[in-house]
Amino acid sequence: MSETNQPSTELQSLDRLVGRWAVTGGAEGTVRYEWMPGRFFLLQHIELTQFGQPVTGLEVIGNLRPFGEPTGADVVSRFYGSGGDTLDYVYELTGDTLTIWGGAKGSPAYYQGRFSADDTTVTGEWVYPGGGGYPSTMTRI
């Protein structure tokens, strides 16, 4: 492992998420983002209620770097839920627009939201194939 290795610019751009957020819309509760030491992984702590069910877990967000391979280009994540779910996502922040794809980049299941000018809200919606998405707003607390 090289000491000159640095977190990707794409991952570093997600620094805007660091902090605690109140979530409203189709899921309600709080999420908290923090950097793991080294800043190669952003951790999201999730405590939500969605469709009347608790959703509690940890999401680890970063670039893949499998043993002996170069760092992957996409910022990917895996959510580990208290109910046993493991869900994969791909993150992309372009300007003020945050896109989170469920599964692979370009998936028909995705979230797209926009940061406010002062970075205190992210307003958008989850889109699911065949409908069933929902609006979601995060407000910094």
Confidence of residue 126 (pLDDT cuts 50, 70, 90): very high
Q: SS3 for 12?
A: helix
93-115, pLDDT tens digit by residue?
999 999 999 999 999 999 999 99
Residue 42 counted as domain residue = yes
In a domain, 2, yes or no: no
More confident residue, 79 or 1: 79
Query: Does pTM surpass 0.75?
Result: yes
Q: Is the confidence at residue 3, as pLDDT, over 90?
A: no
Q: How far apart are the first and last CA of the chain?
A: 38
Cα 81 to Cα 25, 35, 60, 96, 125: the distances in Å are 20, 19, 11, 28, 21
Does 106 reside within a domain? Answer: yes
Average pLDDT, the chain: 95
Residue 3 lies in a domain: no
Q: Is the dihedral of CA 23, 80, 75, 131 positive or negative?
A: negative
Q: Say how many residues make up the chain.
A: 141
Domain with residue 92: its CATH number is 2.40.128.20
Whether pLDDT at 25 is above 80: yes
For residue 14, the enclosing domain spans 9-140
Give the total number of structural domains in the chain.
1
Q: Per the domain annotation, does 4 fall within a domain?
A: no
Confidence of residue 4 (pLDDT cuts 50, 70, 90): low
